[in-house]
Structure 1
Amino acid sequence: MAVLCEEFTLCGLTASGGAGVGQALLGLEPGPDPDRVLLTDRGRMATLYQVSDQKPLGCWSVKQEQTITCPAVCHFETGEYIAVHDDKVLRIWKDEDVNLDKAFKATLAAEVYRIHSLPHTEPVVLFSRGAVRTLDVLLAAPQQEIENVISDEVIRWSEAFMETQQPILIFTTEKNGNYFLYLQKINPDSLYKYKLEQEESFHPLCFTAFTKNKVLTLLCLYSNGCVYKTVVSLQQNVQEEELILSKSLLLKTVVSDTVLKAASLAVLDKDHIAVLGCLDSPSNIAKGCLTIWNTKFQTLQTSKELPQGTSGQLWCYGEKFFLTHGKFLTVIIYKCETSSLAAAVGKLKATQPSGMRTVSSYVNWNMLQEEDLASPPPQQPVIAKNESKRTLRSRRNSVAKVQRDTLTVEQLLSDIKDSSEKDIEEELRQFLSNAQMSDFQATVGYVITGLVDRCKKEPTFYPQNCLVQLIQTQGLSYSLCPDLITVALEKTDVHLLQLCLQQFPDIPEAVICACLKAFLSINDDSLEGTNVNLDSVISYIDLAPNDQIEKQNETLQNGFNSELMEEDSCDIQLTQKPRAKETEELCPVGPQKAALLNAILHSAYSETFLLPHLKDLSAQQVILFLRYLHYLYMKYSEKVNMHLPCMFSPTINQIMDWMCLVLDAHFTVVVMLPEAKGLLFSLHKFVRAQVRFYSELNKIEGSLQELQRIKPQKDFGLYSIEMLELV
């Protein structure tokens, strides 16, 4: 089975880089690690993106009059990036390079079609006339003569593979409607040419290929929606003249006579392929569709419509689809399970009641024998006439006990619908302690969904202990039970909300802000005695004012000093003096609320999606949240290591990021509120003190570097003490 999971936007596409339907990107290649991709538009720019954070890490462009003509790739051995502009100019740069014009430059003797980068080997350069060179050989003599392998043919597609630890490059060409396949082995250098069998009245839209056991499998998607397979052996040593490769029909993706256009094909595993394409509609309305097919059983696994249209380009890296959807580059996460007959025809028995979602164990079809399929079901044993009723009753009781001890998920889901909270809690504890499930995550998701569904139907039903017990299994996520946090917010269950925020990695930004608003609205008195984990605050929140007074006499480190702040000048004038230090250093919220807010600060988010929801906070909530963030900031100023020694304690980067986000969302409100002036004044003085401190550190660093430069290095032996005098 194959499913489409989370979907998000990686970036917007500019007009010159593929905005809109029909305007394609030049290429998308994997970056130096699995979470990075290198995007090249049809213009002047190449950008490195962090996929999980949806943000660019670097952007490089050529001059105004130049154009990138070859997709940028990453050299996995050196960490460098390679691209070609104006067909012949090769550029190589690193992450720290800012100006691409100052990067390494080499002008080649022939036009480049594509560069393919493979792990553990040198990148391979394919020229437009069919010649192939490795990058190291090409850089040794950039102006070396490049032969013409093809004359009147045009390269349509190319790909590189590693087979028996040697790179192999293949590419297809077209000439007068005929298509050819070239297979180039790098070491030893050998080239093979084949002619592809043609399809009448239809033409190839895209190619893809994969290698296994020294066999190359080429897949071709035609405009009639048919996917054909061509197999080539990689062990041959003699080239035959004009060998025609026969093809076989692998899959038909379009049932009607509709013609495909702007399509792409990707191999996911040995039994699944993905097809992205647009139908040639007479109304000229661009509609795209992404589908995943099972080639083993000829079935459609899942599909997704793209109403904004697509350019037909599809890339697949690390169980993620990258495709153009309208004016955006979209990422869709997918999952593919091993194809089996059990997954294709269904694993549940026909006697199962309809409408019940269950998770049963996989059937091992390889263990079924032919005689097992032909033999009738076993009959129940006949009880001997002389067997007493007491023995029969004892046997029935023992069978019932075994059934209770081996509670199935079907029975548990059935009991959740009408049993009491106490009975459900006992059965759930027994089920989790005895169950040995291969698909544990999905099973827990079904159970908690059943509980949440009943909570929504019955307002008086709320099995908190069961919900907490399921969350603590660490097998859940927000996508498995999206209504759980909604129910917890309605019940104001802060303990459950804290667990969800600490353990769910995929909570949407709107839900995070809803939890933040709920935490800020709760009175500290009502939180006293609630079951909240205080591990994140217990080491830095002072509960008694006397502790604060004692801390006034301590020397503050990391550049912060109260006297320095008082001596610092500031343009902001207040009509009233700031409050006493012992009052300012008190935490503005109680320990329970502080622990809940720390869970918010630890949540994963995207600034683009979080900022609009932060504007829903009221002015009082904004001031309270900023005061707590300022309190945390002051606590960090007392620590040299810039890290609070607590589990789930927020980091300095998280504090600063959230403070900046809140100020951006409520800048006008904060500036206009009179009660915010003292807070802003304190922040202003603290920042200026930090700037002054780091300025002095920079001066010391510059002096030490200058001394190291002008003073020659001497060998003082194994041990020495040297005095440096700064004037």
Structure 2
Amino acid sequence: MAALREEIALCEVAAGAGRDSLLGVEPGREADHFLVTDNSRTVTVYKVSDQKPLGCWSVRQGQNITCPAVCNFPTGEYVVVHDDKVLRIWKDEDVNLDKAFKATLSANVYRIHSLPNTDLVVLFKQGAVRCLDALLAKPQQTIEAVISDEEVIKWTELLIEAQQPILIFVTEKHGNYFVYVQTFHPHNLNKYALLPGDEKSIPLSFTACVQNRNVSLLCLGSSGCVYKVLVPFTKNDPKENQTLLWTLLLKSVMPCSSRNGGSLVVLDGNNVAVLGTSTEVAKECLSIWDLKFQTLQTSKELPLGTSGQLWCHGHRLFLLHGKFLTVNPFKCEISSLASVLGKLKSVQAPDPQALSTFVNWRTFQGEGPEFQDSEQSVSSKEQMKRVLRTRKNNDTRCKPGALTAEQLLSDIKGASKKHIEEQVPKFLSNTQTPDFQISVGQIATGIVSRCKVESTFYPQKSLVQLVRTQALSYSLCPDLMMVAIGKTDVHLLQLCLQQFPDIPEPVICACLKTFLSISDDCLEGINVTTDSVSEHPCIEPKEKIERQTKVVQNGFDPASVEEKSGAPQLIQTSDSKIDTPATCPITAKRAALLNAILQSAYSETFLLPHLKDLTAQHVILFLQYLHFLYVKCSENVSMTLPGPCPPTLNQIMDWICLLLDAHFAVMVMIPEAKELLRNLYMFVKDQVWVYSELNKMEGSWKELQRLRRETNLGFYCIEVHELF
């Protein structure tokens, strides 16, 4: 069986490029790194688990990347070709691609192939094949023409058989298709003609795998069918023109009228993934088909549309869904007839207390004198009863006074709030209950469902106790936080934000609105955990702050920006003008609630649209608090806030950027935000200067380490380094 997991939005792609939106997605140096090459000038390395880029490189204006960038695994370098002939090689630490290694070749390159533990293989548009090392030794060497005139390469792939690379590529000329197989040990090239399985079907996509010393070449046709042909590595007679015939493998995997064509990739020996328009609905979808039993394993609709491009690396599928490049993890299991028919049961470990799989039915029926007088049979029956009784007692009375989940769920349907708040602690007192996490989720769902029906029913104490078990998540009880928002239960919302790892971005924004909207008078009477601000100097007397002599560290000096000096002064006296927030603009309880928002997990892509619903006053208040936190972080050498669990500097800065991105036009126009934006600008400008100086110092230290000679300095030595 095969299954698709939840997709991950990796990055946004410029719209309007159609099927050529991206040149390719290739694996990077690490298992979680991938190179994304767009159709113009940029190569970006992404880390999928973080959904953020690790590095980005672009060619100069007027130049165009003409084949996907790949990773040279033995050296850890990246290789790309722009303007058909110019080869570039660079590393992660290289900043400017224009200054990277450059080699101009004598012929146009079609594709560079890279696999672990193999040399890079370069395929030219004329069909010639070279290893990268051979090309770098003599870039201007003559490249022969292997394919005929007007013959165009349509698809290519590098495969591994017996630890040896095999290159296969398909060409087209005047509607006729040919396949070439290039082996390297020995160096041999074979050409075959392909006869279509259906004269009216035009090949849309190719994919291949190695099976039984043959290349199994698959083709997705415009008829919506998948065809297969076995291509041998070698010919009996190399000079003979051999013709291969397509055979029908899968029928009607997509209709003929697919808008962006379709794509086909091999997942393993038994499964393929097809990207195209579904035959049942008029929407594009991603589906996985079983080749062995010719059945549809799973499918997923793509309502935002795709470009028709599909890449597979490891257990991940990459495709464009709307404006985003998404990662779709999948899982494939060994196909069997039982799994196809839906009769396969999961294999579980045997219960040590379970009865033996051998049952003597005559013993239970009392047949036969040899069984009636047998002490062993009586002992077996007594043992069976004893085991069943023990298992029943473990399920129902694991601890005296404890309730079962079924009993508590029955009480929730009609009991009073007071009764439920008395019963929930009794159930939670027995953590040895089987399936404790599932039971907690069911109980929370039952309480929330009744809260939605009865407006006067809200056992807040019980919900807090259930959340504090750390057995709940947003997925187990999706309506819990929305009910708490409706009740303005900020204490419960704070606990959920601190413990739930899977809160959707719209719910995070709804919590943020609630925390910013609630009045200070209402917060006074609410129990809020203030660990994140317990040691934070939020509320100091203003007179005390004005009397203090300010020593500004890490380069923060607003007065220097006022004077527009070239180098900010790092020491400021009490007579200088201080234009920074001296006290926290909000109370400690509201600060603790907002800190829970700052520390929540989110994706910028999905959070940004919902932040636009905030009012201007709320945005200004939140920005003022973030500015205050930023200043407090910068006043410490460690660039951290005090306290056991404060927000980090990166979290603070990310939220400042998010709010400004979502409300830039509003912030620029309203007068109330003018002073705040000016303070942010001055602060960031000073920080940029400091980091620039630190980078210079880092470069100087690296240069000293490079020039330093290894000498025996003895047991004790004093060295003085002067930085210019």
TM-score normalised according to structure 1 size = 0.74
Could you tell me which residue of structure 1 aligns to residue 23 of structure 2? 26
Residue of structure 1 equivalent to 2:413: 418
Shifted more, 513-522 versus 689-698: the winner is 689-698
Post-superposition offset of 1:33: 4.1
Aligned to 1:358: none
* 2:533 corresponds to 1:537: yes
In the alignment, is residue 128 of structure 1 matched against residue 125 of structure 2?
yes
Structure 1 residue 239: Cα displacement: 7.0
Which amino acid is the alignment partner of residue 5 of structure 1? E
CA-CA distance at 1:701 after TM superposition: 8.2
| Alpha-carbon shift at residue 107 of structure 1 (Å) | 2.7
What is the alpha-carbon distance in structure 2 between the residues aligned to residue 603 and residue 459 of structure 1?
29
Residue 69 of structure 1 is matched in structure 2 by 66
Per-residue CA distance 1:442-477 (angstroms, 9 max, x = gap):
998777656544443344555657766766676766
Which residue pairs with 2:480 in the alignment? 484
Q: Which runs of 5+ in 2 are unaligned?
A: 351-355, 373-377, 379-383, 565-574
- Mapped partners of 1:566, 1:261: distance in 2: 58
Check whether the contact 1:261–1:280 (CA below 8 A) recurs between aligned residues.
no
- Is residue 357 of structure 2 the alignment partner of residue 362 of structure 1? no
Contact 1:58-1:95 within 8 A present in 2 as well: no
User: What is the distance in 2 between the residues matched to 1:527 and 1:223?
Assistant: 64
CA drift at 1:640:
0.7
Gaps of 5+ in 1: 349-360, 367-371, 572-577
Structure-2 residue corresponding to 1:140 = 137
Partner of 2:187: 189
Partner-residue secondary structure (3-state), 1:276 = strand
Alignment of 1:268-667 (within 5 A): 268-278=267-277, 288-306=284-302, 309-317=305-313, 319-325=315-321, 328-336=323-331, 338=333, 344-346=340-342, 362-363=346-347, 381=364, 401=393, 403-404=395-396, 415=410, 418=413, 421=420, 425=424, 429=428, 433-435=432-434, 452-460=448-456, 462=458, 478=474, 481-527=477-523, 530=526, 532-541=528-537, 545=541, 549=544, 553=548, 556=551, 558-559=553-554, 569=562, 585-607=582-604, 609-644=606-641, 646-663=643-660, 665=662
Any idea what SS the aligned residue of 2:494 has? Answer: helix
Q: Within 2, Cα distance between the matches of 1:715 and 1:306?
A: 65
Q: Distance in 1 between matches of 2:388 and 2:717?
A: 87
Does residue 80 (structure 1) correspond to residue 77 (structure 2)? The answer is yes
Q: Is the 8 A contact 2:35 2:69 kept in 1?
A: yes
> Deviation string for 1:167-211 (max 9, x for gaps)?
332223345655444333334434455555641323432221234
1:158 pairs with 2:142: no
CA distance in 2 between partners of 1:226 and 1:410 (Å)? 52
Q: Aligned partners of 1:424 and 1:634: how far apart in 2?
A: 48
**CA pair 665-400 structure 1, distance change in 2 beyond 3 A:** closer
2:143 is the alignment partner of 1:172: no
Cα-Cα RMSD: 5.4
Change (3 A) 1:134 1:365: farther
Distance of 2:722 and 2:88 partners within structure 1: 47
| Aligned equivalents of 1:554, 1:600: Cα separation in 2 | 34
Amino acid of the structure 2 residue aligned with 1:274: A
State the Cα deviation string for residues 602-621 of structure 1 (Å, max 9, x = none). Answer: 23445555445334334543
Aligned pairs (5 A) from 1:7-26? 8=9, 10-13=11-14, 15=16, 18=17, 20=18, 25-26=22-23
Confirm or deny that 1:107 pairs with 2:108: no
User: Which deviations, in whole Å up to 9, do the C-alpha atoms of 1:679-716 show, x marking residues without a partner?
Assistant: 667656756765776788789889x789979x998969
Compare 531-540 and 339-348 and name the one that shifted more: 339-348
Instruction: Supply the AA of the counterpart residue of 1:275.
Output: V
C-alpha separation in 1, matches of 2:721 and 2:391: 86
CA contact (8 A) 1:223 1:260 kept: no
With the length of structure 2 as denominator, give the TM-score of the two structures. Answer: 0.75
Distance across 1 between alignment mates of 2:156 and 2:560: 68
C-alpha distance in structure 2 between counterparts of 1:473 and 1:162, whole Å: 51
Q: Which moved more, 1:631-640 or 1:46-55?
A: 46-55
Percentage of matched positions with identical amino acids: 51
1:584 is displaced (CA, Å) by 5.7
Q: Is the 8 A contact 1:228 1:249 kept in 2?
A: yes
Structure 2 match to 1:351: none
- C-alpha change, 1:212 and 1:423, in structure 2 (3 Å) is farther
* CA gap 1:188/1:23 in 2 versus in 1, 3 angstroms: closer
- Work out whether residues 287 and 307 of structure 1, in 8 Å CA contact, stay in contact via their aligned partners in 2: yes
**How far did 1:275 drift?**
0.9
The 2-side partners of 1:466 and 1:274 are apart by: 47
Structure 1 residue 309: Cα displacement: 4.9
Match of 1:322, as an amino acid?
Answer: F
Report the Cα offset of residue 314 of structure 1: 1.3
How far does residue 219 in structure 1 lie from its aligned partner after superposition?
A: 2.5
Query: How many Å apart are 1:85 and its aligned residue?
Result: 3.3
Cα deviation, 1:398-418, whole Å, max 9, x if unaligned, reads 775355369999969975973
Do the aligned partners of residues 274 and 689 (structure 1) sit closer, same or farther apart at CA in structure 2, a change above 3 Å counting?
Answer: closer
- The change in CA–CA distance for 1:654 and 1:269 in structure 2 (over 3 A counts) is same
Name which of structure 1's ranges 499-508 and 677-686 shifts more when overlaid on structure 2: 677-686
The verdict on how the C-alpha distance between 1:422 and 1:506 changes in structure 2, with shifts beyond 3 A counting, is: closer
Structure-1 separation of matches of 2:227 and 2:408: 46
Report if the CA contact (8 A) 1:45-1:62 is conserved. no
Deviations 1:218-238 (A, max 9, x none): 32222322223445677x897
Shift of 1:265: 0.7
- How far apart in 2 are the matches of 1:225 and 1:144? 44
| Counterpart amino acid of residue 657 in structure 1 | D
For residue 518 of structure 1, give the secondary structure of its aligned residue in structure 2: helix
* Deviation at residue 538 of structure 1 after TM alignment: 2.5
- Is 2:126–2:145's contact at 8 Å kept on the other side of the alignment? yes
Q: Deviations over 1:362-394 (max 9, x none)?
A: 25699xxxxx99x99989956999x9xxxx999
Closer, same or farther in 2 for the Cα pair 1:595/1:145, shift >3 Å?
A: same
Distance 1:618 1:62, change over 3 A: closer
Match of 1:222 in 2: 221
Please name the residue that 2:252 is paired with: 253
Deviation at 1:511, TM superposition (A): 2.5
**How many Å separate the matches in 1 of 2:156 and 2:404?**
50
Task: Quote how far apart the aligned CAs of 1:82 are.
Answer: 2.1
* CA deviation profile, 1:58-83 (whole Å, cap 9, x unmatched): 2413552x544322223234343322
- Name 1:209's counterpart in structure 2: 208
Secondary structure, counterpart of 1:539 in structure 2 = coil
Question: Which letter does structure 2 place at the counterpart of 1:362?
Answer: S
**Native 8 Å contact 1:83 1:92 kept in 2:** yes
Q: Quickly say closer, same or farther: Cα 1:187–1:422, change in 2 above 3 A.
A: farther
Alignment partner of 1:300: what SS? strand
Q: Kindly indicate whether the alpha-carbon contact (under 8 Å) linking 1:278 and 1:310 is maintained by their aligned counterparts in 2.
A: no
Aligned CA distance change for structure 1 residues 621 and 417 (closer, same or farther; 3 Å): same
Give 1:13's aligned amino acid: A
Q: CA deviation at 1:125?
A: 1.0
